Amino acid sequence: MIVEADETMPVRNSDDVVRARQVVRAKAVAAGFSLVDQTKIITAASEIARNTVDYGGGGTMRIEVLRNGQRRGVRLTFTDQGPGIPDISRAMQDGYTSGQGLGLGLSGAKRLVNEFAITSAPGQGTEIILARWK
């Protein structure tokens, strides 16, 4: 697998969430994604970026444009140093929320991408990696 582009940006407030969406859109377009695939990765990115701000206290988003043979993809890695997620399997269930949301952020984002991984522990922050392939 070849990383064609690699960029890291802060995700600390609502303005950064908007910028993250814009950057993901630009990279998805550059990777040749269809409008549907663009929408899926942008929506997933928006959900996870919002969680990074609201629950993780802010963090970073790394965006990579990938090539694996003829396949092109976009991989996003969100990292925060927040309180962490004590029960990942519970947090991944539709309807579970630790805040005021609908409880569809993590599980919804997972359904929108081809690859999804989450690493978290109480007091040690969270890392979420998602990728969409063309």
Burial of 89 (0-12, 13-18, 19+ CB in 10 A): exposed
Calpha distance 23→7 (Å, rounded): 9
Tell me which residues of the chain have a pLDDT lower than 70.
95-104
pLDDT for res 23: 98
**pTM value?**
0.92
The total number of residues shown for the chain amounts to 134
Architecture of domain 2-133: 2-Layer Sandwich (3.30)
pLDDT for res 44: 96
Calpha distance 5→31 (Å, rounded): 10
Calpha distance 67→121 (Å, rounded): 31
Residue with tokens 């994604």: 33
Helical (H) or strand (E) element with 130: strand 126-133
Residue with tokens 């309807």: 95
pLDDT for res 101: 54
Domain map of the chain by residue range? 2-133
